[in-house]
Amino acid sequence: LFMLNVFEYAKRVAYLSKVTYNYRVVEGSITHRFNPAILETYHRVYQKIEEFAEHYHKSGYFYNAYYLRIIGYLNKAMKVYFMNPDNSALENERYNKFLTIVSSDPYVEAIKAVKIKSIYSWKTKILVGLLKMKQYKIYWRIKKHI
């Protein structure tokens, strides 16, 4: 959210084709461990992004990037919430909650509107294709084993 505002007011932006930042993935970190409130947190972020988009009259390219972000967050939620071994809910309860989530906005809108050709990873293209075809059980099973 901070960066959206930074870029909105930036006079110029430069791109460096050089690695200037290293990101270390730590499995036990806050971004990788079970978070029972993650779905609500994502929902609040979506609301703020939509407020930003409305305020600055965004369209087209912005929304495709936003939809990609929503799908990215859904994939993240699969790991840190739905498939997390620390989630004490039974699998069918987690799956039913997943169905509720992907059947509600902004997920429905994102899945429907995102352009698969804008996705770089072939794995994500397949997963998004499954979501577009409402093959939720297959998506679930694949995410369970990844």
Q: How much is the average pLDDT of 20-30?
A: 77
Cα separation of 130 and 84, whole Å?
21
Examine the pLDDT at 24 and tell me if it is beyond 90: no
Q: How much is the average pLDDT of 99-121?
A: 94
Q: Residue 118 has what pLDDT? A: 87
Examine the pLDDT at 74 and tell me if it is beyond 90: yes
Amino acid, single-letter form, for residue 5: N
Q: Residue 31 has what pLDDT? A: 75
Q: What share of the chain is helix, strand, coil (3-state, %, to 5)?
A: 65, 0, 35
Q: How much is the average pLDDT of 20-33?
A: 77
Secondary structure letter of residue 33 according to DSSP:
S
Q: Residue 9 has what pLDDT? A: 92
Angle between helices 38-55 and 60-77 (to 10 degrees): 180
Q: Residue 108 has what pLDDT? A: 97
Give CA torsion, residues 45, 46, 50, 51, to 10 deg: -30
Tokens 């036990």 belong to residue: 28
Secondary structure letter of residue 32 according to DSSP:
T
How buried is 74 (Cβ within 10 angstroms: 0-12 exposed, 13-18 middle, 19+ buried)?
buried
Please write the tens of the pLDDT for every residue from 27-64: 777 777 898 999 999 999 999 999 999 999 998 889 99
